[in-house]
Amino acid sequence: ETGVTQSPTHLIKTRGQQVTLRCSSQSGHNTVSWYQQALGQGPQFIFQYYREEENGRGNFPPRFSGLQFPNYSSELNVNALELDDSALYLCASSWRNSPLHFGNGTRLTVT
Amino acid sequence: AQTVTQSQPEMSVQEAETVTLSCTYDTSESDYYLFWYKQPPSRQMILVIRQEAYKQQNATENRFSVNFQKAAKSFSLKISDSQLGDAAMYFCAYRSETQGGSEKLVFGKGTKLTVNP
């Protein structure tokens, strides 16, 4: 059974740039969620995708967008990066009522 | 909106001893799930234990057990026979349903657990 994998592991971007983070869901999981974890904080829900449609969104501006592909993998895109976007971005997959299975995250640093 | 509060930023325990991590939450819902996740330095969130609100019986998973007090909105985690590998950040989480049927987790700020040899 393949777990949730995220890429890249680390990323450094400049304020104003755009970034794309990638996530492969665990085998058999059709739902993907993205979370932002600032340093010293708990993760915050960004949005969730189910069958290629956004299925819920947290309190994040529209410059945070996503995609889910037919193989259930997903991307998180962030436009016009701000310094406060520096964080660990966690992807999690699930199926029906199962608990979320998380990846190791992508550490994004915005300078 | 639901909130989750972990009032202990840091805890420490001696190896082989027992430690309890506290969590309270606020919700107006009657049916929900509560979770404890562990986050070691590898950064991956690992599920420790899950509790369904409709079940009165406290969940247990080997050395890990919870004390679920629904009326008090309290959900503490007890780790028995603590091991060095238990050292990590522990997050309490509430599963909520957003509009459209999605399920999101609301996390507390975490408790850093240190296990002393």
pLDDT tens-digit readout, B46-63: 999 999 998 889 999 999
pLDDT tens-digit readout, A61-110: 999 999 999 999 999 999 999 999 999 999 999 987 788 999 999 999 99
pLDDT tens-digit readout, B1-44: 889 999 999 999 999 999 999 999 999 988 899 999 999 988 89
pLDDT score of B99 more than 60: no
Please give the structure tokens belonging to residue A28.
């058999």
Contacts of B105 in chain A (CB under 8 A): 33, 35, 43, 45, 100
Query: From the list B35, B43, B99, which residue is nearest A104 (CB)?
Result: B43
Quickly count: other Cβ atoms within 10 Å of residue B10's Cβ.
Answer: 10
pLDDT tens-digit readout, B59-83: 999 999 999 999 999 999 999 999 9
pLDDT score of A51 more than 70: yes
Contacts of B93 in chain A (CB under 8 A): 42
β-bridge mates for residue B93, sequence order:
B35, B107
Distance CA A94, CA A68 (A): 13
The distance from CA A71 to its chain's CA centroid, rounded to whole angstroms, is 16
Q: For chain A, state the CA radius of gyration.
A: 13
Query: From the list A55, A92, A105, which residue is nearest B100 (CB)?
Result: A55
Distance CA B45, CA B48 (A): 9
What per-residue string of b and e applies to A65-96 under the rule 16 or more CB within 10 Å gives b?
bbebeeebbbbbebeebeeebbbbbbbbbbee
Q: Do the beta carbons of residue B79 and residue B52 sit within 8 Å?
A: no
